[in-house]
């Protein structure tokens, strides 16, 4: 799987914005067209090892030109991916910039939501959505939420608290025998790990401990489905640092244009692009200073 990473050269208005704001501008985009890898198989972009190395390369490139980058604007469009990769990417970005404003024109779900937790502001519009971050795991060949498995176990536990096995209908007995306590412990450990990651990122994003604890718990345990849409109002009620896109009209318009450039590209990995603010040429400053000195010398001679 090839890394889709390069400096953005074709959007001069974004370069002007980077110069004006003295901010690095970054895009991390999962496109809507999966890449065909065989006649019968296609792969859609997920946050994983490719994205980890992409973000590491991105940060290395930026730091060769800016020793201490302060501010970043992040365009994020992602359906999520691996928990560890999402967390590592979020930490790498937050540890590299003092302030990150993330723009979500459409979707930052699951691992994408995890990345937003470490940002100082989350900019959302009418179609923007985050999602819960409950851990997804394979069970009998399909991906399910650890919450669903724990809820099923809880219902069985409640059912059998005042019943003998011999009195229970066969479906309950069959379901009970399929549950492996070791697997249950693994699910619980993964949920605990997600809670730890989320709280740490929220702390990096400037949330106080009580708010971080509350937000993390709700995002992991407070929703019926992993695919539930968390729009602007829901995110605001959660206590996330969301602002409406109307607070950043120019930025929002340019971010949507940037997303539109890549959203229909067939890709098996996230498209990673960046723009670095251009520094003023030192030669120009020297030249200006030289002209001033020449004028002073001429005045002295005439006197």
The residue ranges of every structural domain in the chain are 1-131+229-303, 136-204
Which residues, 6+ apart, have CB-to-CB distance to 85 below 8 Å?
Answer: 47, 48, 49, 51, 52, 111
Confidence of residue 295 (pLDDT cuts 50, 70, 90): low
* pLDDT tens-digit map of 247-269: 999 999 999 999 999 999 999 99
User: Does residue 182 register a pLDDT over 70?
Assistant: no
The whole-number average pLDDT for the span 67-73 is: 91
Confidence of residue 188 (pLDDT cuts 50, 70, 90): confident
Q: What whole-number distance in Å separates Cα of residue 301 and Cα of residue 303?
A: 5
Confidence of residue 219 (pLDDT cuts 50, 70, 90): very high
User: Does residue 302 register a pLDDT over 70?
Assistant: no
Q: What is the pLDDT of residue 179?
A: 65
Confidence of residue 288 (pLDDT cuts 50, 70, 90): very low
Tokens of 79: 């359906």
Q: Which of 4-18, 176-190, 219-233 has the lowest mean pLDDT?
A: 176-190
User: Does residue 228 register a pLDDT over 80?
Assistant: yes
Which residues, 6+ apart, have CB-to-CB distance to 76 below 8 Å?
Answer: 28, 29, 102, 103, 104, 108, 112, 115, 116
The whole-number average pLDDT for the span 69-92 is: 96
Q: What is the pLDDT of residue 180?
A: 65
SS3 track for 117-158:
CCCCEEEECCCCEECCCCCEEEECCEEEEHHHHHHHHHHHHH
Q: What is the pLDDT of residue 152?
A: 64
Q: Which CATH class is domain 1-131+229-303?
A: alpha beta
Backbone torsion region of residue 220, taken as left when φ is above 0, otherwise alpha when ψ lies between -120 and 50, otherwise beta:
alpha
* pLDDT tens-digit map of 117-173: 999 999 999 999 999 999 777 666 766 666 666 666 666 666 667 777 666 666 666
Q: What is the pLDDT of residue 154?
A: 63
Q: What is the pLDDT of residue 289?
A: 45
Which among 52, 220, 262 is positioned nearest to 136, based on CA atoms?
220
Residue with the two structure tokens 């939501």: 113
């Amino acid at each position: 799987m090839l890394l889709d990473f390069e400096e953005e050269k074709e959007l001069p208005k974004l370069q002007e914005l980077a110069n004006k704001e003295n901010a690095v501008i970054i895009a991390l985009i999962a496109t809507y067209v999966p890449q065909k890898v065989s006649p019968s198989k296609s792969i859609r972009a997920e946050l994983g090892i490719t994205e980890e190395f992409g973000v590491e390369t991105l940060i290395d490139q930026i730091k060769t030109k800016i020793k201490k980058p302060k501010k970043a604007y992040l365009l994020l469009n992602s359906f999520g991916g691996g928990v560890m990769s999402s967390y590592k990417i979020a930490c790498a970005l937050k540890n590299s910039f003092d302030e990150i404003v993330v723009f979500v024109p459409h979707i930052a779900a699951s691992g994408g939501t995890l990345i937003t937790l470490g940002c100082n502001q989350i900019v959302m519009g009418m179609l923007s959505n985050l999602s819960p971050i409950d851990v997804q795991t394979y069970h009998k060949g399909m991906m399910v939420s650890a919450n669903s498995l724990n809820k099923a176990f809880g219902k069985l536990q409640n059912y059998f608290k005042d019943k003998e096995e011999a009195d229970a209908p066969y479906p309950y007995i069959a379901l009970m025998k399929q549950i492996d306590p070791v697997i249950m412990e693994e699910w619980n450990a993964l949920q605990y790990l997600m809670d730890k990651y989320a709280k740490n990122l929220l702390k990096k994003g400037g949330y106080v401990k009580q708010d971080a604890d509350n937000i993390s718990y709700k995002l992991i345990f407070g929703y019926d489905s992993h695919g539930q849409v968390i729009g602007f109002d829901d995110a605001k009620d959660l206590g996330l640092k969301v602002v409406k896109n109307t607070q950043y009209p120019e930025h929002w318009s340019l971010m949507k244009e940037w997303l539109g450039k890549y959203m229909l590209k067939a890709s098996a990995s996230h498209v990673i692009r960046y723009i670095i603010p251009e520094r003023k040429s030192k030669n120009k400053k020297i030249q200006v200073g030289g002209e001033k000195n020449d004028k002073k010398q001429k005045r002295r001679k005439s006197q």
